[in-house]
């Protein structure tokens, strides 16, 4: 992108990650072919090159993995918490030792910049395993009653936008509480989950405690519906979340859903403009806007709208789009051709409905999936781009005059996952935050995460919480006075 600076290329070496030509499913501690022999290819979004061939799980493989997890559950759940914690600590340390390799792998398979995988994703992945390792021997004091018991086998389905981080959010609390896991990664980003399977073997984790099943939606559906799965955790689209809820209705399975969002980033007239602009950029252009809690709706007070938008456009013109492995890159590739088509269609709808489009000046690479940072002004609450989750680097700008109007517009959505407030007044932050119907609210920052903090939403953004002490609850059942479920 256009910049007053000239940057020499600073590429990270892709040879850091040794990707094999093919990978199998990880079941009962071993890599194995799919029962029907099916495979699929995973490609790099930035170049469209094939990275590896992956075994494609089907219902028969799901059954094998669940049976392995059920068998392993007996011994794993019987281990003292301190012993389970040792395994999690070991996994966390190995992740730290292999963090450079994993960051390169994630960038190649997902398309996000190496700066993000290296500086955000991997440190948080290790931190989650460290954090829940510490809880493993303290469950009696977690606030869920004496001697809470594990549920059994957890079926977990994760998305492609934060493949390794979403794995950590789900597997770490499940193992700490004594459950075993069958996890299905997204079909476009299976590699980091398969590398994690190797980390489990490196850490000496007992066979069957963690099973990894790359595949498509049919594998995820079979896992969710399997009669011997006790707990389902899903992060992904609201439409699929609703289907999962219908599937589990009438069963005794525990369920947590972390779904879509249309987060409002509210900037008041007393906010520090430069700081707010950086927060807006982080809120919507981090990971190319492919973030469920992205601040995709900018609500700015009328009196500073022109000043803020001028500053924001100048800032967007300095962002660098290109090779995700270059350490100078700010904006990487969109994860897939399908997602790029969705973003493009919604942006075109915004123009067709009368919103004014501004796109940052940049040259898009000739291969791969790319979308330049874009913002829309003259947006109303009736516009599709103000209502639907775009899941891309597209920002809709709306204005407000009073705090009450800002709250009304922020809450005017079927989602309820995140929000941000920018003002120098602490009293205003507390007053506005108390009225926002969002699971996570940031003040004078955005997209900041910590393993000790719970994360989740309301309305069509799902239910349940992941992270923090709250993240243990979904994997535990209270015991009776005899210590039995």
451, 169 contact by CB (below 8 A):
no
Active-site annotation holder among 12, 200, 292, 389: 292
Cα separations (Å) of 212 from 31, 34, 66, 86? 9, 12, 11, 21
Distance from C-alpha of 338 to C-alpha of 367, rounded to nearest angstrom: 15
Distance from C-alpha of 478 to C-alpha of 12, rounded to nearest angstrom: 48
Sheet bearing 50-55, strands edge to edge? 22-23, 50-55, 39-43
Active-site annotation holder among 12, 106, 116, 258: 258
Does residue 83 have an active-site annotation? no
Helix (H) or strand (E) holding 410: helix 403-411
Which is it for strands 462-463 and 254-258: parallel, antiparallel or unpaired? antiparallel
Question: How long a stretch of residues is the chain?
Answer: 485
Q: Which of 30, 28, 50 is nearest to 41 (CA)?
A: 50
Distance from C-alpha of 57 to C-alpha of 223, rounded to nearest angstrom: 10
Does residue 460 have an active-site annotation? no
Residue with tokens 């590398």: 195
379, 396 contact by CB (below 8 A):
yes
The residues assigned a catalytic role are: 258, 292
């Amino acid at each position: 992108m256009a910049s007053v600076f000239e940057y020499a290329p600073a590429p990270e070496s892709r040879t850091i990650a040794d990707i094999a030509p093919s990978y199998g499913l990880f079941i009962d501690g071993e890599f194995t072919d799919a029962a029907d022999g099916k495979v699929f290819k995973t490609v790099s979004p930035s170049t469209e090159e094939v990275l590896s061939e992956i075994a494609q799980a089907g219902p028969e493989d799901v059954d094998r993995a669940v049976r392995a997890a059920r068998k392993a559950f007996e011994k794993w759940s019987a281990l003292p918490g301190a012993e389970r914690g040792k395994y999690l600590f070991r996994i966390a340390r190995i992740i730290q030792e292999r963090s450079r390799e994993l960051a390169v792998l994630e960038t190649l398979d997902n398309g996000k910049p190496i700066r993000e995988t290296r500086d955000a994703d991997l440190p948080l992945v290790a931190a989650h395993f460290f954090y829940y390792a510490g809880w493993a021997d303290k469950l009696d004091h977690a606030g869920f009653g004496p001697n809470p018991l594990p549920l059994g086998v957890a079926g977990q389905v994760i998305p492609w936008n934060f493949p390794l981080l979403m794995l950590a959010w789900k597997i770490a609390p499940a193992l700490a509480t004594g459950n075993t896991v069958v996890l299905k990664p997204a079909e476009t980003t299976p590699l980091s989950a398969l590398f994690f399977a190797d980390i489990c073997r490196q850490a000496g984790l007992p066979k069957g405690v963690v099973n990894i099943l790359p595949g498509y939606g049919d594998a995820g559906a079979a896992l969710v519906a399997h009669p011997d799965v006790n707990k389902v955790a899903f992060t992904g689209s609201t439409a699929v979340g609703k289907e999962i809820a219908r599937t589990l209705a009438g069963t005794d399975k525990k369920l947590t859903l972390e779904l879509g969002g249309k987060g409002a980033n509210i900037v008041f007239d007393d906010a520090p403009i430069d700081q707010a602009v950086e927060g807006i950029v982080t809120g919507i252009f981090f990971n190319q806007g492919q973030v469920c809690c992205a601040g995709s709706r900018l609500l700015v007070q009328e009196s500073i709208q022109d000043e803020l938008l001028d500053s924001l456009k100048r800032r967007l013109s300095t962002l660098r789009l290109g090779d995700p492995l270059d350490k100078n890159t700010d904006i990487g590739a969109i994860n897939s051709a399908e997602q790029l088509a969705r973003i493009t269609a919604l942006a075109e709808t915004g123009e067709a409905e009368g919103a004014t489009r501004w796109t940052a000046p940049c040259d898009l690479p000739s291969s791969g999936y790319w979308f330049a940072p874009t913002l829309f002004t003259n947006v109303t609450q009736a516009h599709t781009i103000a209502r639907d989750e775009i899941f891309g680097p597209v920002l809709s700008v709306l204005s407000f005059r009073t705090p009450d109007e800002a709250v009304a517009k922020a809450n005017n959505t079927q989602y309820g996952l995140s929000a941000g407030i920018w003002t120098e007044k602490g009293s205003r932050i507390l007053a506005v935050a108390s009225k926002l119907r969002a699971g996570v609210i940031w003040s004078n920052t955005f997209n900041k995460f910590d393993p000790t903090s719970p994360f989740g939403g309301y309305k069509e953004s799902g239910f349940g919480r992941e992270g923090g002490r709250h993240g243990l609850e979904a994997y535990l059942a209270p015991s009776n006075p005899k210590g039995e479920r």
